[in-house]
Structure 1
């Protein structure tokens, strides 16, 4: 699959489909901003009404 992605999509495909997507809001964090739900699982538990933890 890697070769096909590179052939069809080129560099853009390699960067968007084959690499990690971990993104950090560095500017917000550097200014001291704290997210109410810093990870997806906590946000989903809250949204789905399972925030008992």
Structure 2
């Protein structure tokens, strides 16, 4: 009998080093946008795989 997980809670603590504050704001903003774009792409792939089932 397969097990279905209906909820998954993930908790993450992020601590930035004081060295990261020396980076320019534009590179930090670009890095965040890249991370968001990667996450969206991965979620879309997962949704497509679920539709194939």
More helix as a share of residues:
2
Both proteins in one fold, TM over 0.5? no
Q: TM-score, normalised by structure 2?
A: 0.28
